[in-house]
Amino acid sequence: MASYIVGVVSKHDLERYQEYAMAGFRLIDGVAVEVGLTDQPEVLEGNFPGSSIIIMKFADNDAARKWYDSEGYQEVIPIRQASADTHFVITFQS
Residue 94 has what pLDDT? 57
CA proximity to 91, closest of 73, 69, 64? 64
pLDDT digits (tens, 9 = 90+) for 11-70: 999 999 999 999 988 999 999 999 999 998 999 999 999 999 999 999 999 999 999 999
pLDDT at 92: 79
CA–CA separation, 68 vs 4, rounded Å? 11
- 74: pLDDT strictly greater than 60: yes
- Picking from 6, 40, 22, 41, the residue whose alpha carbon sits closest to that of residue 79 is 22
Q: What pLDDT does 63 receive?
A: 94
Each domain of the chain, given as residue ranges in start order, spans 3-42+50-92
CATH 3.30.70.100 fits 3-42+50-92, yes or no: yes
Q: In what order do the strands lie in the sheet with 33-39?
A: 33-39, 52-58, 3-11, 84-92
